[in-house]
Amino acid sequence: MDFLQNYCWIVFLFFCSVSSLSLKETKPVIFFLGIVKNEGTNTFSRNKIKKLPVASDANDLISKLDLDGKKQYITYIYHSSICSYCSKVTDAIKDNNNVEILQFHENSKLEDLTNTNKPIIVLMKNINREDSIDRSIFYNELNKKGGKIQVPALEINDHIMYESSEIINFYQHLLEKVEANSDSSNEPETQ
């Protein structure tokens, strides 16, 4: 009888200590025991990055977005410094006067980077640290938002799209829209 009573006390103390640890860590007890992987479903989670809808191609993305009436479009491109397809995207838009391409670092503030009067801002998020193969915080961010690691990836207005050719098609559409808006605003008014 003493053995059973001691065993019950040990089990009780174990669960009390595990539950107190889980309250401090804001993770369920099952996670602490290694039975279930925590996927960020906890309401107390500090990381509020949610999975975004993924567009299949440029036309799908254009149909999901409200691009009318905006003076400035802020886009993000997740890229890797060793990715040739990423270079293909930036090469397609870098020489355009309506596009500002800026590097977005881990400690960058959006307000500081968007102080430009160009209509299209492309903020580059490198999934690697500088030119190494070490991962930056943008690696995990892309994985959580898009559900996979594939670069280049375009993010705009809480939507993600992959594939370099589709990203280029989207930017071409955006540039045509910007140029059409600037042409219509430069036309003299007739009365």
**C-beta neighbour count of 177 within 10 angstroms:** 17
Tell me the pairing of strands 153-156 and 73-79. antiparallel
Number of domains in the chain: 2
- Contact 41/134 with Cβ under 8 angstroms? no
How do residues 35-75 score in pLDDT, each as one tens digit?
Answer: 444 444 444 555 578 999 999 999 999 999 887 778 899 99
pTM of the model: 0.71
Last residue of a domain, one of 48, 68, 86: 48
> Any idea what the Cα angle at residue 48 is, between residues 20 and 67, rounded to 5°?
170
Residue 185: per-residue pLDDT: 66
Residue 180: per-residue pLDDT: 87
Same domain, 41 and 71: no
Same domain, 12 and 90: no
Locate 151 and state its tokens: 């670069």
How do residues 69-110 score in pLDDT, each as one tens digit?
Answer: 788 999 999 999 889 999 999 999 999 999 999 999 888 888
Same domain, 3 and 82: no
